[in-house]
Every structure is written in C-alpha cells, then in structure tokens.
C-alpha cells in the first residue's frame, strides 16, 4: 500500500485580497505535495479560509455587505487565484461551513465538560469605536488603537479559558521526545524558551461580537479564533462524524505536515498540540515555519499600500517565473526581500539563459547535425561523460534529500547546479568541432544523447516546480510519459530521440530596464499601463504572411504509427491537401469528415511520423478540451483574415 502524506496551509483571513506572502505558503505546499505525488505517495492537500472574527464583521459592514456575503466573495477570489497558480489542492475548507462548525461546537463542549475550558474574565485594551480588544503588543504609541489611532481603555469581559498551564510539562516532554516536531531548529528553540517562561491560560471566547461559532451551552459567547481555526485540519477530514475515513487514513497515516508562517508558529506549536492532548487525539503532525517576504523598506503592509499581489505578475510574466521566484528567493530559515531587480535577474539568468537556452541549443544542434532524429548510442567512457552522469545522479539524491527536509530553495539550487554542469559539458565537448569531422559522428551522437538525457532528468525534477516549462520540455524533446516519472530517473533509460523540428524558447528574455521600471511602479502602487512584453508583439505584416482559408474535410483516418495523430484529406479549393494533426484524443475521424475547418495553407510541408503534412488545422485548447475551429456559411477556399 502507498504511504500517505497530508499537507496543509494555514487558513487565510478574508480581510482582503491575498498577497505574495500568502501565495508563497500555498505555492510551497503545492510544490511539496506534487513532489510527494511524483514519489508515489497517496497525498492529500488542504487549504482554506478562516472566516470568523470581529475584523471580518467590521470590513463587511464597511463594504455594505453581510459578513457571509463578504467571505463568499473573498473565498471565490481566492479559489480563482489558486486556479491561476494551478494549485492542486484536494479540499478547500471554510470555517463558515456546517461540516466545520458542528465539529468545533462538539470540541468546545467536550473540553468544557472535562474542565479543560473554564469561565473567567478577560482583560484587555479595548477600542470603543472599533469595538475591538487588543493585546499590549498590538497597540500603537501611548496605548492607542492600531486600527484607528484613538485611545484604548482597559476593559474586562467574561470569557472562557483553555488551561494551557496544565499541559505545559507534557508539551515540553513531547517536543523533547520528537526532535523534528518543529523545524527549522532555530524556531523550535524560540518555542521551547517561550513555553519555559510559563504558559498563561488562553482566552477562547468573546461576547463583544457575534460573527463566530456560538458556544452551545452559552450562546452569548462565540468561540474565539484559535480553537475555531486550528480545528480545520481535522474537521476537513471528517473527524467526529459518521464518515471519518479520511481522518483515519490521513491524520493517522504516515506523514502529516502543517506549513505555517513564523508569526503563527506559536499557535500551532503550543495551543494545537495542547488541544489535541486534551481531546485525546494523537499528535501526528510536524510543523514547518517559514520566514516572510519583505519589501526593500520593511514589512508588507496593505494599509500603507506596500504590498505585492500575484495576479499582475502572473498575467505579465506567466505562471512559472512567479512560482520559481517565490520558491527560490526565500531561504529555508530566514526572510526574503522581493525586489524588481532580483525578479528580472532570476527570470533572465536562471530561466531564460541557463535553463531555456540549454534546451533550445540542444534541440537546434540535434536538428542541425542529425535532422532531428538520433539513435541511442552505445555506452562509452569519456571522462566528460562520466562526470556528467555522476553529477546527474548526485543531483537526484541531493534534490530528494532537500525536498524531504522541505528545503525547497536548496533543492532548486541543486537542479541549477546540474543545469550549469550540463552547459559546461557543451563547452567541454564542443559539438560544433565534432560536427566538422565525419569520423567523430559517433562522438557527436553520444554528446547529443547525453545532453538530452541530462535535460530529461532536469525536467523530471522540475515537474513540481515549473509546471508549464517542464511539460513544454518533454513536448519539445518528444519524451513519452513513462520517461517522465520518478522511477525513470536512471541514466540510459532514454531510447532513440526525435526532437521537435520547430523549437520555441520556453522563457523569453525580459528587457531589464522596462521590466524593472514596470515592477517598481507596481510595487509602489502606481497605475501601470497594461502592456505586453515587447518580444511577444507582432506586426500586422507578420500576420499577413499567413495564408488562412476554409478547408472541407473529405476524408480522415488514424495515423498508422502514432496514436495521437489523425491524417485528414482537406479540400482548400486550390487542391486537396493532406494534413496531420495531434487531435485524436478529442475527435474520431468520423466526427471530422464533412466539417469546414480553418486551415493555414502556407506552412512548409513536413513529414510527421513518416506522413507528409501540408498545412495546419486551427484549434483552441484549454486544460480539459480541444476544439477545432469550424465555420458554417463559408465554403472551401474562402479566405480568413
């Protein structure tokens, strides 16, 4: 049976749009989850929203919405963002859902019944106009309200408390016996010294607002954030319900990881295990606390307008450069600074130059020297080859070790070290010199094979990180699915090679000045004209070069040697032309006969798997579907412009 792996993000407050800080946590978990999937684990990835509390109530009021309407809107936006980032979560829990509220109510009553929760009085700094309590550390100068700046007063309120002090010793023992419970080590030490100073019981209910889960036995109280929020990790698994199979499988399974930001580590490292001890639920999870993304001049702050949102970055640069930057720039145990200069440099140097160029150069050379086809060579022993092979194997191991320890930035560095080594291999073996000497053809063949084999390994390691580029890499190198798996990470698994005849660079270089200026404006919240990157723009005369017409499909059949291809005979009036298209996963030949489709006539004819193709049928595509463009009123040969 497969080992199980359960990973969670914090559930986010719906106080506004999510920024790159929250996005970082979600992308990090997505990458780790995809890695575990690649390794063959039975994985489950949970994220969601923490939708109760006074702040939400106040914000909703300001927006003229009910709190529920407000959180519904933000949850919708958040899901859209995760979609944009291709986050592969299995469940999205919202604390306003019935499945969650029922469990929180049960948990609260149980803790109350067994006297782990008791009624007392909460004393705090209260802002009358905002109707909010604050702790001393949250206050502004002279004990003013951090939200509105007006003076606060000390007010007492009836509140339930969770007995933390009772579990202090047990918790310290637990941390001692489970040295990898909290990572990084430096953060664990902070938690331990905090506990050793002595724990105060935690206020877990409020009477000053009502946007929350009501305490069953005393509905004047709502459950205050942390018992509500932390329970999401098990309520989402059906804990305490008739169907608790997910809880049994994943919570009690092989590996459970909560990824949190450093600011909420204490809640997860102290309150959560104590809650579980009190509830007699096994503490199966490990905690990883990451640092923060800062701006050059300090913390990101929505109220000061110093904040970076991911959407404009993805729209302008694409998904992979954003994922890459976020994962690569934040060190394992520290903070990172988001700067325009670094973003452009990472995209240009790491992605476009080092990695993109390696792939592009390799394909171009195979086209030039071997007309895109290369037989697998006999193994041989040049010292350059041995070094490259050794480096590739070492990289796989180093990548794995780092990923298993959640050191994702370091794991990415390992891949780039192999990228550099592979580029160096080209310089060492000088294929352009080998190509001049017919006697060196076998050497050249071996060099090309080794390049593709190293790049295939890089592609597999990149699958959890660069989602589109890794797919594109396999496509351009024509590498079949069984050679994209973790199990296929063995040198020499690759057979004969047939690369694309028309390689496209996967990462365009950014113009340094333009993009740094664009990003600086974006970071300063200046209105930025939406402008596509220059290299993507074409002139109308470029478009006019295409000869596009209506073509009527007269005959269609499966390609004899390739499952994914169909071969159509199409009347474009000037002649009946044969076109090979990769659409057989979406259409049967019968469905296409009689269709009037859109055809590019003046593409250079090419042989695709041995069959001549004289043009291209246009189709639209998304992740699920592909649809061939077709017309009704027009006839074969009619021009499209």
Please give the Cα distance from 28 to 85 (Å, whole number): 11
Chain-centroid distance, C-alpha 44: 15
User: Measured at CB, which residue is nearest to ligand ME8?
Assistant: 261
Shortest Å, Cβ 229 to ligand ME8: 4
Ramachandran angles phi, psi of 387, nearest 5°? -65, -45
Task: Give the H or E element holding residue 258.
Answer: strand 255-261
Closest distance between ligand ME8 and the C-beta of residue 493, in Å? 39
Q: What does the alpha-carbon distance between residue 460 and residue 344 come to, in Å, rounded to a whole number?
A: 25
Q: How far is the CB of 300 from ligand ME8 (least distance, A)?
A: 5
Answer for the pair 85, 309: CB distance below 8 angstroms, yes or no: no
Q: What are the structure tokens assigned to 79, written together?
A: 């899901």
CB nearer to ligand ME8: give 49 or 548: 49
Q: Which of 641, 627, 636, 635 is nearest to 591 (CA)?
A: 627
CB of 116 to ligand ME8, least distance (A): 19
In the complex, least distance from residue 275 CB atom to ligand ME8, rounded to whole angstroms: 11
Cβ 408 to ligand ME8 shortest distance, Å: 14
Tell the smallest beta-carbon distance from residue 19 to ligand ME8 (Å). 7
As measured in angstroms, the least distance from the Cβ of 405 to ligand ME8 is 19
Q: How far apart are alpha carbons 394 and 399 in whole angstroms?
A: 8
Nearest approach, Cβ of 10 to ligand ME8 (angstroms)? 4
DSSP string, 280-342: T----EEEEEE--EEBTTBS-BTTTTB---HHHHHHHH-HHHHHHHHHHHS-TTS-EE--HHH
Q: In whole angstroms, how close is the CB of 16 to ligand ME8 at the nearest point?
A: 9
Nearer to ligand ME8 by C-beta: 293 or 425?
293
Shortest Å, Cβ 264 to ligand ME8: 5
Residue 51: CB minimum distance to ligand ME8, A: 9
Identity of the residue, 326 or 363, whose beta carbon is nearer to ligand ME8 in the bound complex: 326
Q: Name which of 300 and 634 has its Cβ closer to ligand ME8.
A: 300
Query: CB under 8 Å to 84, separation ≥6 — which residues?
Result: 310, 311, 314, 319
CB closer to ligand ME8 out of 167 and 338: 338
- Interface ranges with ligand ME8 (CB under 6 A): 10-13, 21-22, 24-25, 50, 229-230, 232, 260-261, 263-264, 292-293, 300
Name the token pair of 226. 């942390």
Residues with Cβ < 8 Å from 587, sequence gap 6 or more?
Answer: 566, 628
Can you tell me the distance from the alpha carbon of 553 to that of 216, in angstroms, rounded to the nearest whole number? 69
On the question of a cis peptide bond just before residue 184, with omega within 30 degrees of 0, the verdict is yes
CB within 8 Å of 550: residues ≥ 6 apart: 572, 596, 597, 598, 599, 631, 634, 635, 636, 637, 638, 640
Element (H, E) at 553: strand 548-558
Q: Helix count (H) and strand count (E) of the chain?
A: 23, 26
- Taking the least distance from each CB to ligand ME8, the nearer of 22 and 31 is 22
Polymer length of the chain: 641
Alpha-carbon 24 to chain mean position: 8
Judge contact between 327 and 408, C-beta under 8 A: yes
Q: Which is nearer to ligand ME8, 203 or 572 (CB)?
A: 203
- Least Å distance, CB 346 to ligand ME8, is 17
Q: Which of residues 261 and 356 has its CB atom nearest to ligand ME8 in the complex?
A: 261
Of 230 and 322, nearer to ligand ME8 (C-beta) is 230
Report the residue number, 175 or 307, with the smaller CB distance to ligand ME8: 307
User: Cβ of residue 284: shortest distance to ligand ME8, in angstroms?
Assistant: 16
Directed axis angle between helix 168-177 and helix 272-279, to 10°? 100
Q: Give me the helix-helix angle, 185-196 and 168-177, nearest 10°.
A: 160
Instruction: State how far Cα 290 lies from the chain centre.
Output: 16
Helix (H) or strand (E) holding 420: helix 408-429
Q: Residue 496 corresponds to which tokens in the numbers above?
A: 């004969």
Backbone angles phi, psi at 157, to 5 degrees: -145, 145
Cα–Cα distance for residue pair 85/316, rounded to 1 Å: 13
Rounded least distance, CB 307 to ligand ME8, Å: 8
Would you say 334 or 560 has its CB closer to ligand ME8?
334
In this complex, which beta carbon is closest to ligand ME8, that of residue 406 or of residue 566? 406
Joined together, the tokens standing for residue 544 give 């006019």
263 versus 534: smaller Cβ distance to ligand ME8? 263
- Which CB, 181 or 292, lies closer to ligand ME8? 292
Residue (290 or 391) nearer to ligand ME8, CB: 290
> How far apart, in Å, are the Cα atoms of 446 and each of 59, 361, 449, 473?
64, 16, 5, 20
């Amino acid at each position: 049976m497969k080992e199980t792996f359960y990973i969670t993000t914090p559930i986010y407050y719906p106080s506004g749009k999510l920024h790159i800080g929250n996005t970082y946590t979600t992308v990090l978990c997505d990458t780790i989850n995809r890695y575990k999937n690649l390794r063959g684990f039975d994985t489950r990835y949970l994220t969601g929203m923490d939708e109760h509390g006074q702040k939400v109530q106040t914000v909703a009021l300001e927006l003229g919405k009910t709190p529920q309407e407000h959180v519904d809107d933000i949850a919708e936006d958040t899901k859209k963002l995760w979609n944009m980032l291709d986050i592969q979560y299995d469940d999205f829990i919202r604390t306003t859902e019935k499945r969650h509220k029922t469990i929180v109510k049960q948990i609260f009553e149980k803790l109350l019944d067994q006297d782990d929760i008791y009624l007392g009085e909460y004393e705090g700094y209260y802002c009358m106009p905002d109707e909010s309590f604050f702790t001393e550390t949250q206050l502004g100068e002279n004990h003013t309200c951090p939200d509105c700046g007006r003076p606060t007063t000390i007010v007492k309120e009836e509140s339930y408390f969770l007995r933390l002090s009772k579990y202090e010793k047990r918790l310290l023992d637990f941390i001692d016996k489970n040295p990898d419970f909290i990572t990084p080590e430096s953060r664990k030490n902070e938690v331990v010294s905090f506990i050793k100073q002595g724990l105060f019981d935690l206020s877990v209910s409020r009477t000053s607002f009502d946007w929350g889960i009501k305490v069953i036995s005393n509905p004047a109280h709502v459950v205050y954030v942390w018992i509500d929020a932390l329970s999401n990790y098990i309520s989402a698994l059906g804990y305490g319900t008739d169907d608790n199979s997910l809880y049994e499988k994943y919570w009690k399974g092989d590996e459970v990881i909560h990824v949190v930001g450093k600011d909420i580590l204490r809640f997860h490292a102290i309150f959560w295990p104590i809650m579980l001890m009190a509830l007699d639920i096994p503490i199966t999870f490990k905690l990883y606390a990451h640092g923060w993304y800062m701006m050059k001049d300090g913390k990101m702050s929505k109220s000061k307008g110093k904040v970076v949102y991911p959407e404009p970055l993805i729209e302008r640069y694409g998904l992979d450069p954003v994922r890459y930057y976020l994962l690569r720039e934040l060190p394992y145990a520290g903070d990172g600074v988001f700067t325009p200069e670094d973003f452009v440099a990472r995209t240009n140097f790491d992605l476009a130059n080092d990695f993109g160029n390696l792939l592009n150069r390799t394909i171009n050379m195979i086209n030039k020297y071997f007309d895109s086809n290369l037989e697998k060579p006999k193994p041989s022993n040049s010292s350059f080859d041995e070094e490259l092979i050794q480096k590739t194997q070492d990289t796989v191991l180093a990548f794995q070790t780092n990923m298993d320890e959640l050191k994702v930035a370091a794991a990415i560095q390992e891949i780039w070290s192999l990228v550099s080594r592979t580029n160096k291999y080209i310089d060492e073996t000088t294929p352009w010199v080998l190509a001049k000497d017919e006697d060196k053809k076998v050497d050249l063949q071996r060099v090309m094979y080794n390049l593709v084999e190293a790049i295939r390994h890089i592609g597999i390691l990149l699958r959890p990180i660069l989602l589109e580029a890794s797919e594109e890499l396999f496509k351009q190198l024509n590498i079949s699915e069984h050679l994209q798996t973790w199990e296929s990470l063995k040198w020499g698994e690759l057979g004969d090679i047939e690369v694309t005849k028309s390689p496209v660079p996967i990462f365009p270089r950014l113009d340094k000045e333009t993009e740094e200026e664009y990003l600086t404006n974006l970071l300063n919240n200046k209105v930025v004209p939406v402008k596509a990157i220059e290299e993507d723009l074409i002139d109308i005369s470029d478009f006019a070069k295409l000869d596009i017409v209506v073509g009527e499909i007269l005959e269609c059949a499966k390609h004899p040697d390739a499952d994914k291809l169909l071969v159509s005979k199409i009347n474009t009036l000037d002649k009946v032309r044969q076109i090979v298209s990769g659409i057989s996963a979406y259409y049967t030949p019968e469905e296409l006969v009689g269709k009037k489709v859109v055809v590019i006539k003046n593409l250079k004819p090419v042989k695709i798997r041995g069959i001549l193709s004289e043009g291209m049928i246009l189709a639209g595509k998304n992740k699920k579907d592909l649809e061939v463009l077709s017309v009704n009123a027009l006839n074969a040969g009619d021009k499209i412009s």
